[in-house]
Every structure is written in structure tokens, then in C-alpha cells.
Structure 1
Amino acid sequence: MPSQFFGLNIAASGLRAANAAMNTTANNISNCNTDGYSRQKVQQEAADALRVFTTYGCAGAGVDTVAIERVRDEFYDQRYRDNEKLYGEYSQKNYYQSIIEQYYNDNGETGFSTLFSRMQANLQSVMTAAGTTTTKATYVASMTAITDYFNTMSINLQNLQNDLNQEIKTTCDAINSIAEEVASLNEQINIIEMTGTTANDLRDTRDLLIDHLSEYVSVKVKETDVIDENDPERDTGATRFEVWIAGGTCLVDTYSYNKLACIARDDDEFINQTDITGLYDIKVVRSNFEEGSGKYISNFDLDNANMGGKLYGLIQMRDGNNQKFFNGTSGAWNPLTHTMSVTVTNDYLKDMAQCSLPAEGVIQIGARTYEYTGWTYDGDSTYTFTLDDTDDETGRAVDFSRLQSRSYDTVNVGKSIDYQGIPYYQSQMNEWIRNFAREVNNITTTGYTSTGEDGCYMLTGDRTVSSNTSPAQYTFEELTTTNYGYYYLTADNFAVYSAMVHNSNLLATKADTTEGDDEFGNIDKLGDMFNSKEVFRGATSGEFLDKILADAALNTSNASTMEKTYEALRNTIDNQRLSVAGVDEDEEAANLVKFQNAYTLSSKVVQTLTEMYDQLILNTGV
């Protein structure tokens, strides 16, 4: 038979349960506007009944407050994070593509179409007075304005690539900071939960960090119970919490974490011809990594389609080559000259106007990576690379033994990045420049000046480094007598022949030396070429901007549309999450009244039982 005071124990359990519920409700209300906070709920269950050996069997023993738990749905969390990685990616693409589109837009003063039209108008003026120095000087100056336009565009894109590069480092630093915080929280959570309680607020903080992380890179989390090997049935309360990013890179494993280290490429480690120096590769390193140590866990694959997030958008903008990169099959290896022949099949690799292979850089042959110091092209389908025989870091001789017995290996310089980023726009300008310069020079070198002298080339490129033995600009022979063709010309160094800038009378205006000074047959050929010759993507010279601006506008439009789509989904999914985990003030107000009534009723039971015990003890003398 239970004690006479059994009822007080039952009432007291009701008071404790109602008090816990009221406190939890108060906590919910106070955190209704706290970012990342999950609504909490008291879990109650009937206490184990007391067997009393009477006809009615067992007596209820009140209520047990089992736990205070978060109300949260992991399904919505993962949906939100999957959407965040896409939102982060396209927000970056939209921002930077918009800048590129602004660069190419013609403002009516310094844009390409305006400058090209002005140059054509000045060409018409030369036709009216071909023997006049002033009209020729004006025309040469207008052509110089076009070369300056490309120089400026190249500088703008290089600066933008540098901005992207620095933002990649900033993003990696943010990821590392979150990894460190999550590892610290894992330890705090386990310390608390091994005592038998639930660290709700710390778990909310951790989930909020994972939400932030998902905007930078794709995220998957895995939490498993830690098992006591000596007593597998015992609930340890501890868990192993793992964070995996980019489809397969471990970032956090409970108390330990890895980092993403940005390692700048050396000056001779270019991937694209127009890349700036110091672009970052990303390595996975341990948390105690020291810069310069060279101790890496693995490479962080930059063309990983599972990467997602802002980091993926930034890398695609910085490195996007629209899948046009150097790739071929290895052939003969010459151990004496350290040269390797490579056979290519892609048409764009057989056209020097489209070639974006850097003069020196890093080449991957099979599974090994080497540095090359130069290359040649046979004009058909074979490139020959000269490999550096000394390791720059160690100063030791490079081991080429694997190349001697191998052929038909896959050879790559860079990787296929399926997006139109900075390298793509640079290569498109280079292609136009090379084709345009070739057509102009073919005409000017076959004509004659107004005084009957042989014409000279008009368009060339400034050398990056000039010496006493090399002219400051590429000669016509260099551009025409080798299989490199006009490869040396880029948007960065595009220029009018310096001698013609100083003496416009070098411009070949005549097609027939027997005619007078005002004969303009060669100028007429130039005009016809501008209007009818297809030099770029099936279009004439003056239609360059239409082609390139169409790319930029389409990319911006697509990125903007996707950003808005994923932003709308972000709000929808977040509202779904809030419907489960968020604090509803009206609901909490109703709960407050409900638990207040429960507390009042339990108090009333205590009061009633107290009166009964007073009557029993004081008035009956029991």
C-alpha cells in the first residue's frame, strides 16, 4: 500500500513538470528573434506506476520530465543547405558577369563599336586625300585607339581576375574559421551531453554555422553515437560529428578539423596564356599547417562539379575556359633534349589564333606533373615540349624515368572548366586580335606608300621583356615565318607598329606604284576587308562587340535568373523550416496559459492534500 503522502509526491511531480514547461516557454518567447534558434519542447511521460497489491492493481505515480528537446527537421535543414550552395554559386557569377558586361558595353565614346566606326570614318577620309599626312596620321591614331581599347580591357579583366583570386582566399579563410568553431562546439556539446543532458543551444549554434558554411561550399553532415567497446549497451551520450564538403573532403571530424590552404602558383606555373601571376591553388591541410612547410593532405580539386557554393562560382569565374584547354596524347620522349612530343586532335589547338597555351608552365603527363620551359608547334597536329630538368624547390634533378618507357599517356595543361570566365573572354579578344592583325598586315605589306615605297606591317605586339638584342615589338618576320603565327599577340600587348605611329607616311595607301600620290587602292582593300571579311566567329571585324557582348549578356542573364530562383527557394524552404523549428508567439502565449493552469492545478492538489493531512493529524490524533 502506498504512503499516505503519496499524493504529495504526485502533485510535486506535476509542479516540476509544469514549471519546466513554463521555463521552456519563457525561453522560447525570449529567443523568438534569435537567428538559428530552434523551438524547444518539454518531453513528458507518465511515471512508472506503483504496484499496491489491491483490487485496482497499480497506482499512478505522477509525471516524469524526461528531456527538453529541440523541435527541428533534418530534412528541411539539408534542403536549405543544398539550395544555399546553388544560391551562393550564382550570386557570385551574377555579380562578376555583370561587371564584365559593363566593361564591354559601348558608352558612345570609348566603346569598341564607337572606336571602330570612327576608325572606318577616318579611313574614308584617307581615301579622299591619300597623299596627305594629316589624314593618314588621324587614321593611325584611330587604330591606336582600338589597340588601347584592348589593352585597357585586358587590364580590367586581369584586375578582375586578381579580385576573384583574393576573394577565393577570403572564402577559404571563412571556411577554415567555421571548421575551427564547429570542432570546438563538438567538444563542448559532448562534455555536456555525456552528463545526460542535451546541449540544445550549442547545437543550434553549430547548425547555424553549418548553414553559413553551405553558402560557401556544398556540405554534408553525419552524426553517429560513440559506442563503449567494453559495454556496447551503455549510452555514452557522446557523438561523432563529421562535416564533409565538396562531395568528399573531410573538413571536421569531431574535435579535429582540416583547413583549405591557398598556395600561390610560382611565376612559371601558368595555366592560361593571359593568367596573372600568383593565382591560388587550394590544398587540404591539417589544422596545425604552417605556410611554406609543403605538408599537404591532398589537392582540392578546382574542377570538382560537386564543390558548389560561392567558392565554386568564384573559381569558375577566375578559371573558366569554356572547356578549351590544352590536351593531347604523349608521343616520343627524347632523354637527351628532355623533349616530349604531344599529338592533339582538337581544332582549336591547331589554330594559333585560338591558342591560349602559356609559353611556360605546368604540364601533366599521365599521373605525373612536370614543368616545361618552352614548346614548339609543327603547324599540323604535334606540339613538342621542353621539360625543366631541375626541381625549383629542392634544386635536384627531375626524375624522367617514367617517361622513357611510356607513350600514349594523356597530356594536359590546365583543366576543362565548363564556364565562360576570365580566361574565356581573354582568349576571345586574342582570337579577334590575331585574325584582325593578320588580315590588316597582309594588305598593308602588299601595298605601297604614297611615295611609292614598299608598305610595312601595321599591327603587332609589345614584348613583355625587351633586350638590347630584341626589338621592343614583334617583327613582321616573327609573326609570319614561324608556325606560331600571330600567337604572340594578345589583348595585353596589342599595338600599332611604333615606326608608323611616329611617321604615318609609312602607311601603304597605294595598290599601284604607277599611279599618283592620291591613289588609294590599298586603302580601298582595307575598307572592303573591314566590311566583308569574316575574322571572328563567322562575323566581320566590326561585329566583334556583338559576339562578345552577347556572351556576357547571356551569362549575366542566366546567372541573374538562377540567383533569383534560388533566392525565392531559399525563402520558401526557410519558411518551411520556421514552421517546424521557429517560435510562434501566439502558440507560445497559448502554451503559457496552458502550463500556468497546470501549475495552478498542481498547486491546488498540494493545498487540498495539505488540508487533508492537517485534518488527519491534528484533529484525529493520528
Structure 2
Amino acid sequence: MSLMSSLYIGVSGLRTSQNSLNTTAHNLANVGTTGYVRQQVVQSDSRYIKWGVTHLSTLQSGLGVDIETVRQVRDVFLDKAYRQEVGRQGFYEVQYEAVQEVESMYGELEGVAFQNSMSDLWTSLQELSKTPSLIETRSTVVQNAESFLERAEAIQDQLKKYQINLNTQIQDKVDRVNEIADEIYNLNNKISRYESNGLEHANDLRDERNNLLDELGQIISITYKEDSNGVVTVNAEGVPLVTESNTFEMGTAKVSDSSDLLKPVWTDFNNADVFNLENEATSKNDTDVGSLKGLLVCRGDDTANYTDMLLSQDEYNSTINTSVIMTVQAQFDQLIHGVVTAINDILCPNKEITLADGTKMTVLDEENAPAGMDSNHTMGEALFERKSMERYETVNVMVKVVDPITGAVTSEPKTVKKYNAEDKDNNYSLYTLGELEINKDIKSNYSLIPISSNAGTGDVDQKVAEALVTKWKEPFATISPNTLTKNNFSDYYTSFIGELATRGEELNSISTNQATLASNIDDQRQQVAGVSSDEELTNLIKFQHAYNASSRYINVIDEMLEHIISTLGR
């Protein structure tokens, strides 16, 4: 090998050591930069000159050292695991936050519990049963009933507003998904152009892209792959989000024409739903990933009421129980409906009569109904009314009459108070929150509360007075179709709050465990990808020595050349 070739070997050592020092310095400069992945210079032998071949080996000499690549030191498997687990953390975390928000509405931790309103109403009903003729006692009942209803309406209104306000969070996350998709697409183009010569690696740009993938994985379930050109294609919920040549936009649309609730859709795919919420969200199927999906699940797709508690167990679990807010709305409305209808049915009992044509009709049971304390002994004045529908309407009907002796069937005209029954398909007919108010006539005249005997004697109807007290203690409903135990009003509310707290604790436990798991995986990532100042300083010394060694090698060759030239010149 010539001395000139030997100089090239020394120069290659200088160049490689210098680049290694620059890379090490770059690592040290970013030791505290979030998301930065340490870079490593991979050195390799340069070309060889072949001199010949023996029976033992090939005779050759090397021409120095080259930089094969400057690579990022990261584990792609840990990246995928982290993005999935942090997405699962986001799914449960947003639901736990929703439970905390809902719990605060009932004031159990702030000293203004809704239970106080229930207790006040119950106490006033007890007092009414003892001294029903006192106007003061009757006014207390009306005032506490109004306070009970106002507090219940305020909570349900808060739930509806919170449900709608989640649209803002959903829209923000959809917008962020689109922003990330555009940024990844732009970074793909930059990386592809930067690395097109096959010599350079756009590692800092790759760090940016990986940080975006981390953030995207927390919002929505993603899969991705990188091609030979350094371009990453991304699928979100199984649908292309970023391709080599395009990004596909996500948007929002109303759940239905009559709803204010929004859902994510693929605007580039005929507004197809982003999520299939009919499938149960489970870790086994990897369908519980992404904070965006978590928001949709906890919010639900409609406003629930007590009629949803009449669904079959399977229907309830698939449509109501999956949503934190819809479950609370349905269970709470069932409690209010139970209290309201129980009191109304005692004050205004109904019965069923048979009309001349054989059909049935529900009417006020005037024979057993208590009357007011007013001069007209008014019957049929319920304490709670529907805003858009009267409890009764007076109608003239032909009723079926059977002679008790001969058994002959005839018909005769009769004026009755027909009960306007509840219809689950007509919200205005329901005794549900949003449609309830205190009877205006009773508010203006407390003597109309029907608790006196209908005989006109002015005596208290003792059965009615006792029923108001005992009804409160009787079991009226289960907390959900998944349980068999019926509760009275007080126990129902206790179970309702307890179930909400238990659900919150479960969600908190899962999200906390997921946060720990994601953090552990991230720690493992950092052990691989993070910059260690001690290690980099060691590398700095190593490459400094290598640089010095190459310099001394060149000096030796230089001295040899100088000696040869000076010798030839003599």
C-alpha cells in the first residue's frame, strides 16, 4: 500500500471520529428534551484492496473506516406496546373524570346532598299524616315538594348540559387527530426527501413523528408501518388516516336529526361512523383504546329516562349501562318517577272500568278517592303534575252494568274523570324530569290537597294519611335490571350513589393501573432510547482518543513522506 493511500486511511479516521463527536455532542445537548431519542454512529470497514489469494486466506488491505449510518436507538415493539396501553389509559381516564363530575352534582361530598331534599319531603309527609288540617303543615309539604322537584330538575339539567358539553371535548379531539395526521404527512415528505440520497438520516424529524404517534395513540386506536422510503402509513380504527399520498379527514355529525349530540365520522368515506359502539369495549378484543372513544362511551348517544329501566337485561346492558351519564339519568329519573307517582296515586287513586263496548278505561276512583278540605271537597288534585298534560279529563261514556240478581247486562251513561296514561313514546305524557311541576291550584290553595274523607264530614281519611307514611318505606324498584332486590326510596338513593361511587372506583383503578403500566413501558423505552450523560461523556472521551490517534497516524505518515522526499533529494 502506498503512503498516499495510508494518508486516506488516517483522514477517514479523522472524519469518522469527528462525526461521532458531533453526534455525541448532539445527544448531550438534548439530554433533557422530551421525546428525543439518542443517536448512535455505526462504523464499518471501508473498501479493501485485494492483493492475491492463498490456500489459507485472501490477501487484502483496508482503506480505512466509514460511517455506515447514524441510527436512532429505540425499540419498535416497546413503542407499539406503549401507544396501545396509553390509549387504554385514556379510554378509562376520561370516564372516571365523568363520574367525578356527576358525583359532584349530587353534592354528597359538599354538604348539599340531594338526600336532604328527600328527607325534608319525607318529614313533611309524616307531619301531614299527623296534623292534616293545619294549613302550615300543608304549606310545608308543598314547599318541600317544590324544593325536592327543583333540586331534582337542576341535577338532571346539569347532566344534560354536561352531556352536551362533552361535544366540545369530542370536537377538540377530532380536530387534533386531523392536525396530527397532517403533521405526520408533512414529516413523511420531509423525511423521504432528506433521506433520498441514501446517506443522511432525518433522526430529529423522526423524533417529531414518533411523538405525534404517541399522542395519536392516546386519542384513538392506531396501527402503522414504515416503508423503505421512511414513509409511515397510519390506520385509525382500521381505516386509513395517513397514506403515502394523502390524509383522510375525520369530522363530526349529529347522532340523529333531533339530537344535539355529536359523533365522529369519516368525511372522506361518506360520513361513516368512526366507532362501532355496538361491540362491547373489552381489553380482550382491544376495543377499549383511545380517549375519544372513552368520551363517546361515557356520554352515550341519547338522553335516558325511567322508561329505559324497563328494557330487558340484555338491551339495558348494551344501550344504557355502558354509558356513565345515561345510566345515572335513567336510575335517577326512576327514583323521581317513583316518588311522584307514589304520592299522586295515594292522593288520586285510579281504577279500571269496563265500557259498553267491552273496552277498558282507567279513571279516578271517586268512591275511594280522598277529597280536599275546601268547601267543594274537590277530588283528583294530584300534588305533582305534567306540564303539558292534565292528569284527568272529564268525559261522558257508556259503561257496562251487570244486574247482581238477574245477571242481565245493560249500559248506562256516566261522567268520569279519565286518566291520561303515560306513553313511553310520548315524552309529554310521562312523569319524568323536565315535564314535572307542582299543581298550580294546590300552590295557590293548600286546602285542595286531598287527604280528607270524601263523605263530606271533613274528617281525615286515615287510610290515605297512613299510606303516605308507609309507602315511603315500601320497596318500589330495583336499582337496575341486573339486580333482583327492590329498594324503598331512601335505600334506592343510597344504592344509587353507592353504585356510582363503585363504578368510579373501578374506572379509577383501571386507569391508574394502565397509567402505571404505560409508565413502566415508557421507562423501558427510555432505558433504550434515552440519553445517559455518563454514557455519552464516555463516548466523547472514546471518540476524542480515536480522533487523536488518527491525527498521530497522519503525522507518522507525513514524517515518513518527508523523510523519503528529503532522502531522494540528496
Q: TM-score, normalised by structure 2?
A: 0.82
1:439 corresponds to: 342
Matches within 5 A, 1:220-369: 220-225=223-228, 238-246=229-237, 248-265=238-255, 269-270=257-258, 277-286=259-268, 296=270, 298-303=272-277, 305=281, 306=287, 308-319=289-300, 352=307, 354=309
Displacement of 1:314: 0.6
Residue 433 (structure 2) pairs with residue 491 (structure 1): yes
Compared with structure 1, are the counterparts of its residues 54 and 557 closer, same or farther at alpha carbon in structure 2 (3 Å cutoff)? closer
Given that 1:265 and 1:278 are in contact with CA atoms closer than 8 Å, whether structure 2 keeps it comes out as yes
| Aligned-partner residue type, residue 143 of structure 2 | A
Q: Give a deviation string over 1:38-79, Cα, whole Å, max 9, x none.
A: 111111111222113498821122111111111111011011
2:471 equivalent among 529, 548, 554: 529
Q: C-alpha separation between the residues in 2 aligned to 1:311 and 1:494?
A: 35
Compared with structure 1, are the counterparts of its residues 41 and 474 closer, same or farther at alpha carbon in structure 2 (3 Å cutoff)? farther
| Aligned-partner residue type, residue 9 of structure 2 | I
Could you list the runs of 4 or more consecutive aligned residues of structure 1 that deviate by over 6 angstroms after TM superposition?
412-415, 473-476, 481-486
Given that 1:130 and 1:519 are in contact with CA atoms closer than 8 Å, whether structure 2 keeps it comes out as no
Displacement of 1:302: 4.7
Matches within 5 A, 1:465-614: 477=418, 479-480=420-421, 488-511=430-453, 513=455, 516-518=458-460, 520-537=462-479, 538-614=486-562
Displacement of 1:182: 0.5
Q: C-alpha separation between the residues in 2 aligned to 1:15 and 1:89?
A: 53
The alignment partner of 1:106 has SS state of coil
Q: C-alpha separation between the residues in 1 aligned to 2:178 and 2:422?
A: 53
Larger radius of gyration: 2
Q: C-alpha separation between the residues in 2 aligned to 1:428 and 1:189?
A: 54
Residue 382 (structure 2) pairs with residue 457 (structure 1): yes
Given that 1:101 and 1:556 are in contact with CA atoms closer than 8 Å, whether structure 2 keeps it comes out as no
| Aligned-partner residue type, residue 372 of structure 2 | T
Farther-moved stretch of structure 1 (550-559 vs 483-492): 483-492
Given that 2:252 and 2:265 are in contact with CA atoms closer than 8 Å, whether structure 1 keeps it comes out as yes
Compared with structure 1, are the counterparts of its residues 481 and 607 closer, same or farther at alpha carbon in structure 2 (3 Å cutoff)? closer
Given that 2:263 and 2:296 are in contact with CA atoms closer than 8 Å, whether structure 1 keeps it comes out as no
| Aligned-partner residue type, residue 150 of structure 2 | D
The structure where helix makes up a greater share of residues is 2
Residue 371 (structure 2) pairs with residue 448 (structure 1): yes
Given that 1:90 and 1:559 are in contact with CA atoms closer than 8 Å, whether structure 2 keeps it comes out as yes
Displacement of 1:165: 1.4
**Residue-pair matches, total:** 505
Q: C-alpha separation between the residues in 1 aligned to 2:111 and 2:205?
A: 59
Compared with structure 1, are the counterparts of its residues 444 and 484 closer, same or farther at alpha carbon in structure 2 (3 Å cutoff)? farther
1:214 equivalent among 212, 217, 230: 217
Aligned CA-pair RMSD: 2.9
The alignment partner of 2:267 has SS state of strand
1:23 corresponds to: 22
| Aligned-partner residue type, residue 617 of structure 1 | I
Compared with structure 1, are the counterparts of its residues 257 and 616 closer, same or farther at alpha carbon in structure 2 (3 Å cutoff)? same
Compared with structure 1, are the counterparts of its residues 256 and 483 closer, same or farther at alpha carbon in structure 2 (3 Å cutoff)? closer
2:358 corresponds to: none
Given that 1:283 and 1:298 are in contact with CA atoms closer than 8 Å, whether structure 2 keeps it comes out as yes
1:182 corresponds to: 184
Matches within 5 A, 1:413-424: 416=319, 419-424=322-327
Displacement of 1:544: 3.1
Q: C-alpha separation between the residues in 1 aligned to 2:235 and 2:471?
A: 57
1:6 corresponds to: 5
Q: C-alpha separation between the residues in 2 aligned to 1:418 and 1:38?
A: 43
Q: C-alpha separation between the residues in 2 aligned to 1:415 and 1:185?
A: 41
Gaps of 5+ in 2: 282-286, 349-368, 394-416, 480-485
Farther-moved stretch of structure 1 (588-597 vs 149-158): 149-158
The alignment partner of 1:258 has SS state of coil
Displacement of 1:436: 2.9
Q: Give a deviation string over 1:75-116, Cα, whole Å, max 9, x none.
A: 110111011111111221111111111212436864332112
Farther-moved stretch of structure 1 (433-442 vs 611-620): 433-442
Given that 1:164 and 1:317 are in contact with CA atoms closer than 8 Å, whether structure 2 keeps it comes out as no
Given that 2:88 and 2:288 are in contact with CA atoms closer than 8 Å, whether structure 1 keeps it comes out as no
The alignment partner of 2:188 has SS state of helix
Displacement of 1:455: 4.0
Displacement of 1:317: 1.4
Displacement of 1:296: 2.6
Q: Give a deviation string over 1:116-164, Cα, whole Å, max 9, x none.
A: 2111221222233211222111111111111112101111101111221
Displacement of 1:213: 0.6
Farther-moved stretch of structure 1 (71-80 vs 434-443): 434-443
1:389 corresponds to: none
The alignment partner of 2:248 has SS state of strand
Q: C-alpha separation between the residues in 1 aligned to 2:271 and 2:48?
A: 58
Compared with structure 1, are the counterparts of its residues 353 and 523 closer, same or farther at alpha carbon in structure 2 (3 Å cutoff)? farther
Farther-moved stretch of structure 1 (307-316 vs 208-217): 307-316
Q: C-alpha separation between the residues in 1 aligned to 2:157 and 2:233?
A: 43
Given that 1:217 and 1:307 are in contact with CA atoms closer than 8 Å, whether structure 2 keeps it comes out as no
2:160 corresponds to: 158
Q: C-alpha separation between the residues in 2 aligned to 1:310 and 1:211?
A: 13
Given that 1:14 and 1:63 are in contact with CA atoms closer than 8 Å, whether structure 2 keeps it comes out as yes
Q: C-alpha separation between the residues in 2 aligned to 1:619 and 1:136?
A: 128
Matches within 5 A, 1:117-132: 117-132=119-134
